[in-house]
Structure 1
Amino acid sequence: MTGLVTDWIEFSAVDGPGNRFVVFLQGCNFDCLACHNPYTINACNDCGICVEACPSGALGMVGGRVIWDENACGSTDRCIQICPYDATPKARALEVADLLDRIRPAAPFLSGVTVSGGEATQQAGFVRALFTAIKSDPGLARLTCFVDTNGAADPSVWAELDPVLDGAMVDLKCLDDALHRRLTGEGNAAVLASIEDLARRGKLYEVRLLMVAGVNDADDLLAATGDWLAAVDPTMRVKVIGFRAHGARPSAIPLAEPDAAQRAHYASVLAARGAFDLIVV
């Protein structure tokens, strides 16, 4: 099976438990104001705007398609910076076997594999095929298989992934639906349903709360979020992530970073609502 892959990282300590190989898939069903990887949102539409802008001549047009020469690429990311469609010409169609060939050399030093994006569940069939292959490979079977997800997936996706999924890290941008739409362009009903579904399946590793100062960090909203999460599982792992402006795309709505004191306050509000395993970053 083939997937549209943006990139991969051989070693990461921030994408799940332990040291992990991370695969980034192209395509996302959200359009988040605070997105740090906006070039993963859409597939390249072969407009060609990036071709002339490429300083290393690594891009060309062949048969109406933008072609990327990885060996000629100078990694300036000028193509990503100039793209007006939140895409990249460097995403490539890879077979499961192609990724396994990249995972195997790093496997002795890994605890698992995480599929991120973009949005991993947009290519659920590919994710299942990859995880199935990992668990069927004697040299890789010990690796845990995680997804990093916005949670906006149909219940059938979690049913499809369940047999080969060890854990999911779910981003909850905001409990308030109207504010969630303002931040992501979509409502949060599917996200909340996914958190409940994954918790019932025993596959919810953590819920991640991205806090933007002055936008989604009001005490009453955070307390309500804590109450809702506690009703799902009062001991769940909750990661409070302060928004960082570095690397984020420009936003029409001013996005401010919470300082250390604010992040600690968020944790204290949540701690009063449940016996959460809280991590603050």
Structure 2
Amino acid sequence: MNKSWAIVNKILPFSCVDGPGNRLVIFLQGCNFRCLNCHNPYTISLCKDCGDCVNACPYKALRFNNHRVVWQTSVCQQCDTCINTCVHHSTPMTYKYSVDDLLITIRKYLPFLNGITLSGGEATMQLPFVEKLFSAIKQTNDLKHLTCFIDSNGYLAKTGWQKVENNMDGAMIDLKAWNNDVHKSLTGRDNLRVKKTIKYLAKINKLYEVRFLIIPEHTDLQDNAENIAKFLIDLDPNIRIRINAFHNHGVHGIAKTWQSASKQQIELFAQQLKQSGFKQITLPPVYL
């Protein structure tokens, strides 16, 4: 049995927006960005076992055991009091899965799946597990036809991508801002590595999609459509692009006051990219 394990926030058995076809999506806990607009801030950090959530839980679904917070799933009512109490951008409601555990889970839905996508948080924060899981899938007769994808913020260094590229079929990368300073103000990190990731994955034909999130007055993507188009078209004129619209439902902190993106703003950005020759552009199905 393979004893390697990962900290998993949740598993979505079926998704058609996280890569090609119908996919099982595994959301890994932990992220190296601190995005002001994060809709799932409780996926950012691993639990610090501080215990603030234990006494706050109205259903006594949390307890201390050997100085660790233990989540009792049979008692939990999913009220999210623990998430709202935590000041560390974390949650005690996570699962430990071994590679073998996940292979069992994948087989439960196998007749309906085209592939597996690892997301987060930021999936590459648990890269050794990603390596082992993708390798196991590709080496298993009844699973090796599944495509293995990563949904990532792109901050992983080239040497990291090289560890998984042989068993990874593709990656979706978020470019959150064009200007380095704007990116840093939004995420806490620069975007130099992100651009290098996009270049490298395009070079080895593993870049499935580049994703943009339009936040009115806060992202600079709209003002840099020409620069973005030149950057991408030099890599691959047939690159897939997905444009998402920011909405302030479910966000926390200062982003609560930010304006949601309109259909007109999204379509204007898409039109600017289309003028450069891009044809595979996906827009939001609904606007909130």
- The verdict on a shared fold, with TM-score over 0.5 as the criterion, is yes
Aligned to 1:269: 272
Distance between the aligned counterparts of 1:26 and 1:219, measured in 2?
Answer: 31
Fraction of identical pairs, as percent? 42
AA partner of residue 39 (structure 1): Y
AA partner of residue 204 (structure 2): R
| Residue 204 of structure 1, aligned match among 179, 200, 207 | 207
Aligned to 1:171: 174
> Which stretches in structure 2 are left out of the alignment for 5+ residues?
none
Asked whether the equivalents of residues 121 and 153 of structure 1 are also in contact (C-alpha less than 8 Å), the reply is: yes
* Alpha-carbon offset, residue 93 of structure 1: 2.5
**Alignment root-mean-square deviation, CA:** 1.4
| Residue 76 of structure 2, aligned match among 42, 60, 73 | 73
The count of corresponding residues between Structure 1 and Structure 2 is 281
Distance between the aligned counterparts of 1:154 and 1:41, measured in 2?
Answer: 19
Aligned to 1:278: 281
Check 1:82–1:259 CA distance in 2 against 1; reply closer, same or farther (3 A cut): same
AA partner of residue 59 (structure 1): L
AA partner of residue 180 (structure 1): H
Distance between the aligned counterparts of 2:259 and 2:104, measured in 1?
Answer: 41
What is the DSSP-based 3-state SS (H/G/I as helix, E as strand, rest coil) of the residue aligned with 1:168? strand
1:57 aligns with 2:60: yes
* Alpha-carbon offset, residue 276 of structure 1: 4.1
Aligned to 1:230: 233
* Alpha-carbon offset, residue 250 of structure 1: 2.5
What is the DSSP-based 3-state SS (H/G/I as helix, E as strand, rest coil) of the residue aligned with 2:166? helix
Aligned to 1:190: 193
Q: Which consecutive segments of 4 or more residues in structure 1 shift more than 4 A?
A: none
Aligned to 2:22: 19
- Superposition TM-score, scaled by structure 2 size: 0.94
Aligned to 1:123: 126
Check 1:218–1:187 CA distance in 2 against 1; reply closer, same or farther (3 A cut): closer
- Superposition TM-score, scaled by structure 1 size: 0.96
Aligned to 1:240: 243
Asked whether the equivalents of residues 22 and 113 of structure 1 are also in contact (C-alpha less than 8 Å), the reply is: yes
Distance between the aligned counterparts of 2:130 and 2:255, measured in 1?
Answer: 34
Asked whether the equivalents of residues 44 and 88 of structure 1 are also in contact (C-alpha less than 8 Å), the reply is: yes
* Alpha-carbon offset, residue 238 of structure 1: 0.7
- What per-residue deviation string (whole Å, max 9, x for no partner) do you get for residues 3-32 of structure 1? 111111111122111111111111111000
* Alpha-carbon offset, residue 220 of structure 1: 3.2
